[in-house]
């Protein structure tokens, strides 16, 4: 029986820190990342791809802001912008992965699914929004927007201005998981839960509605991997392994560790909250909920015998 893997593309798979974000830059980055999926596909894996959208959704919010200021076109909320980026980034991944496969003489259907992710409206994250999104404003501009629509702003630690902050609630359920699993196990490559998914909640018992929030894409991909009974969960990032004492004289790379050790290291505070901690937490979540093993690594390490940091079930 073929194995099913969920692979979460990190931000550097789409856009590098020194780039402007042109379509040529992003397509080249995506193509390079997709070449490293070949080993899994050749080895008979069924593949589901999740991805981030941080820079892209910020740019879309800026475009909406400019359109409203210059032309009076109503700016749309974050859930709408996440849907936009799911479509545009999914298009890039779908096209470039197909180009990679065609060059290698492989043929697979590749489908992008615009995906809603249900969150709990009572999640404590809504009481203390912390996730910055969108453009920078002056204090006066931020106050004006707050007065008009109740948005919450926080000052940037690097002094670049004020940014809107939104909640980052935990994913509760992924919509359409049965179809995603069926299609993936039938051999189609599925791109889904882009940007952590479109955040929605039940405003009443049988009515879904979008909400201003950003869902962590690694936690959403982990939740998806659990719900579709994936064998493996892989997070692609910009370091080959997870380290403790990162960038210190006594730093140490982690190879294969049981989930109990991963939990212990998390509790001891070895991983940065805005960086590696959510990735390790997502891997722990997957393994504790029935997954066999989860890996954190770079795309270039995929397929190597000692690739990445692997967290496995005991």
Question: What pLDDT was estimated at residue 164?
Answer: 84
Q: What is the pLDDT of residue 201?
A: 97
Residue of 12, 59, 99, 176 marked catalytic: 12
Cβ atoms of 225 and 291 closer than 8 Å: yes
The pair of structure tokens assigned to 179 is: 């179809």
Q: What is the mean pLDDT of the chain?
A: 93
Spatial neighbors of 288 by CB under 8 A, at least 6 apart, are 259
pLDDT at 55: 82
As its CATH architecture, domain 4-31+45-128+167-236 has 3-Layer(aba) Sandwich (3.40)
Q: Is the pLDDT of residue 11 over 90?
A: no
**How much is the pLDDT for 159?**
86
CA–CA dist 110, 220 (Å, integer): 20
pLDDT value of residue 63: 93
Q: Which of 131, 195, 210, 241 is catalytic?
A: 131
131 band by pLDDT with thresholds 50, 70 and 90 = confident
Instruction: For residue 168, give the nearest of 233, 134, 119 by alpha carbon.
Output: 119
Check 53, 54, 217, 308 and give the catalytic one.
217
Mean pLDDT across 236-244? 93
Question: Looking at the chain, which residues constitute the CATH 3.40.1160.10 domain(s)?
Answer: 4-31+45-128+167-236
Per cent of the chain over pLDDT 90 is 78
Partnered with residue 111 across adjacent β-strands are 190
Per-residue pLDDT for 152 more than 80? yes
Active site residue 128: no
Residue 234 predicted with pLDDT over 80: yes
Annotation says 2 is catalytic: no
pLDDT digits (tens, 9 = 90+) for 32-90: 999 999 999 999 999 999 999 988 888 898 899 899 989 999 999 999 999 999 999 99
Catalytic residue among 11, 52, 90, 197: 11
131 is catalytic: yes
CB burial of 236-273 (b: ≥16 within 10 Å; e: otherwise) equals bbebbbbbeeeeeeeeeebeebebeebbebeeeebbee
């Amino acid at each position: 029986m073929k194995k099913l893997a969920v692979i979460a593309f990190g931000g550097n798979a789409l856009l590098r820190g020194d780039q402007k974000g042109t379509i040529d830059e992003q397509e080249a980055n995506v193509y390079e990342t997709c070449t490293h999926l070949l080993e899994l596909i050749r080895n008979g894996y069924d593949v589901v791809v999740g991805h981030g959208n941080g820079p892209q959704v910020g740019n879309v919010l800026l475009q909406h802001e400019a359109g409203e200021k210059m032309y009076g076109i109503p700016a749309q909320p974050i859930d709408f912008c996440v849907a936009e980026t799911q479509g545009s980034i999914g298009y890039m991944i779908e096209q470039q992965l197909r180009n990679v496969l065609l060059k290698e003489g492989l043929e697979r259907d590749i489908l992008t699914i615009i995906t809603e992710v249900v969150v709990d409206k009572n999640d404590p994250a809504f009481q203390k929004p912390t996730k910055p999104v969108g453009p920078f404003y002056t204090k006066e501009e931020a106050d004006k927007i707050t007065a008009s629509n109740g948005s919450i702003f926080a000052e940037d630690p690097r002094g670049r201005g004020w940014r809107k902050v939104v909640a980052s609630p935990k994913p509760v359920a992924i919509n359409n998981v049965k179809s995603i699993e069926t299609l993936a196990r039938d051999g189609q490559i599925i791109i889904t839960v882009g940007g952590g998914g479109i955040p929605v909640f039940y405003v009443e018992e049988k009515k879904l509605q979008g909400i201003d929030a950003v869902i962590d894409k690694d936690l959403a991909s982990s939740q998806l991997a659990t719900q579709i009974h994936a064998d493996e969960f892989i997070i692609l990032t910009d370091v080959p392994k997870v380290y403790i004492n990162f960038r210190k004289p006594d730093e140490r790379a982690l190879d294969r560790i049981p989930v109990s050790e991963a939990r212990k290291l998390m509790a001891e505070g070895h991983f940065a909250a805005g960086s590696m901690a959510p990735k390790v937490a997502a891997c722990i979540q997957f393994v504790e909920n029935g997954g066999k093993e989860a890996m954190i690594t770079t795309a270039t390490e995929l397929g190597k015998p000692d690739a990445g940091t692997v967290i496995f079930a005991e």
